[in-house]
């Protein structure tokens, strides 16, 4: 905490020095969303380059004066929380003055900028994310406040903890981890008792694009158990994008790549090549939209696809057919085909990329 306080004090000292010299104070932050500031490293994923380009948030410029003020406001809130060892969610910060902040996304963005500017992970700033992810299966752990969580002995779903760094005593006999894109599929696998039928496993869903805590938990499970991690996504560009976030990270959070990415993640399904192989009926397939085409073209250009020749082939199949399918398309074969046939066969015979 002293490191965080010192980092904030240094920023404020810079502001005061500028004022003393009758200069307009300026905050300098990295261009987090610029691909030119990102490098791809196989063992880490997408990470920010050391000498990346920056932008100035000036206090004397109409376009940025408001953002400058909001950054100082949130810095002061973080400073007080670290001093008093209290925590707040991003929602708490937004609702402390909705008129001032205007929208939740403004708060989220500024907190990421502050984290990047101070070079301090967000959880060390005492700002928690609201969790939307779920976890189930062969896993037990103790939360920071001493609460014992045991996912193993029931088909109950547990919310991913809001302070993943604080959990300890993780134990599991799982043979693998399965990341499921969507809540509906996750619930279906739970109903079918999948995680105990095939072999003990841990199931996680970020319910779409994963939040920070879900990504932190996947990383923590990998560091703790070093067991295979598979993804089960829709066979569409959006599903591939979500899988890439788990495996390689996202551009906007590349400054925290070391804590968030798991480059060992494997693509289990639904593969575009599965659709033809399993003879999925045409009615269950959905034609591409223009948005799908653009998203796929953008993914195909990314630096990590070049080092994944098998992924590249799958994306080419998708681009050629211009068809996508949700995981639910497998029910066109039979209602429990996913848990009874598809996943057990894939896991037994190594049908992942």
Asked if 94 is an active-site residue, the reply is: no
Half-sphere exposure of 302 toward its Cβ, with a 13 Å CA cutoff?
Answer: 27
Task: State how far the alpha carbon of 270 is from the alpha carbons of 262, 290, 317, 336, in Å.
Answer: 20, 21, 13, 15
CB 315 within 8 A of CB 270: no
Q: Give dist(CA 109, CA 205) in Å, integer.
A: 24
Task: State how far the alpha carbon of 66 is from the alpha carbons of 22, 23, 50, 72, 167, in Å.
Answer: 20, 18, 28, 10, 38
Check 95, 141, 264, 337 and give the catalytic one: 95
Helix (H, G, I), strand (E, B) or coil at 25: coil
Copy the structure tokens of residue 217.
Answer: 């938990």
CB 270 within 8 A of CB 329: yes
How many C-beta atoms lie closer than 10 Å to residue 281's C-beta? 11
Which residues neighbour 144 within 8 Å (Cβ) at sequence distance 6 or greater? 161, 163, 166, 167, 168
Which residues neighbour 48 within 8 Å (Cβ) at sequence distance 6 or greater? 30, 32, 37, 38, 39, 116, 254, 255, 257
- Give the Cα-Cα-Cα angle 35, 41, 43 (nearest 5 degrees): 140
Task: Quickly tell me which residue has 């996508």 as its tokens.
Answer: 324
Helix axes 290-300, 309-321, angle to 10 degrees: 160
DSSP letter for each residue of 189-242:
HHHTTHHHHSS-EEEEE-SSSPPHHHHHHHHHHHHHH---EEEE--BSHHHHHH
- Scored b (16 or more CB within 10 A) or e, 146-179 reads eeebebbeeeebbebbbbbeebeebebebebbbb
Residues that are catalytic: 95
């Amino acid at each position: 905490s002293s490191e965080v306080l010192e980092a904030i004090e240094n920023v404020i000292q810079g502001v005061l020095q500028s004022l003393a010299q009758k200069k307009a104070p300026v905050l300098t932050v990295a261009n987090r969303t610029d691909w030119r500031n990102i490098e791809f490293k196989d063992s880490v994923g997408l990470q920010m380059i050391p000498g990346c380009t920056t932008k100035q948030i000036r206090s004397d410029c109409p376009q940025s004066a408001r953002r400058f003020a909001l950054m100082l406001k949130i810095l002061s809130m973080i400073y007080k929380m670290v001093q008093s060892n209290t925590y707040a969610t991003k929602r708490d910060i937004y609702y402390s003055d909705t008129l001032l902040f205007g929208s939740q996304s403004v708060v989220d963005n500024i907190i990421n900028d502050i984290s990047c500017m101070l070079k301090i992970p967000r959880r060390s700033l005492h700002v928690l994310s609201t969790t939307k992810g779920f976890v189930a299966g062969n896993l037990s752990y103790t939360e920071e406040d001493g609460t014992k969580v045991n996912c193993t002995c029931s088909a109950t779903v547990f919310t991913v903890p809001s302070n993943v760094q604080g959990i300890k005593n993780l134990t599991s006999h799982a043979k693998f981890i399965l990341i499921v894109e969507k809540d509906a599929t996750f619930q279906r696998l739970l109903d079918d008792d999948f995680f105990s039928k095939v072999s003990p496993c841990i199931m996680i869903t970020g319910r779409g694009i994963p939040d920070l805590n879900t990504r932190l938990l996947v990383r923590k499970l990998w560091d703790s158990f070093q067991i295979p991690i598979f993804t089960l996504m829709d066979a569409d560009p959006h599903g591939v994008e979500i899988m890439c976030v788990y495996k390689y990270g996202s551009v906007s959070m590349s400054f925290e790549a070391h804590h968030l990415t798991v480059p060992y993640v494997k693509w289990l399904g639904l593969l575009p090549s599965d659709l033809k192989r399993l003879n999925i009926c045409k009615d269950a397939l959905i034609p591409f939209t223009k948005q799908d085409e653009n998203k796929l073209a953008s993914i195909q250009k990314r630096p990590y696809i070049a080092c994944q020749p098998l992924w590249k082939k799958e994306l080419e199949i998708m681009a050629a057919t211009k068809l996508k399918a949700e995981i639910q398309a497998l029910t066109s074969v039979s209602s429990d085909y996913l848990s009874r046939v598809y996943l057990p066969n894939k896991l037994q015979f190594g049908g992942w990329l």
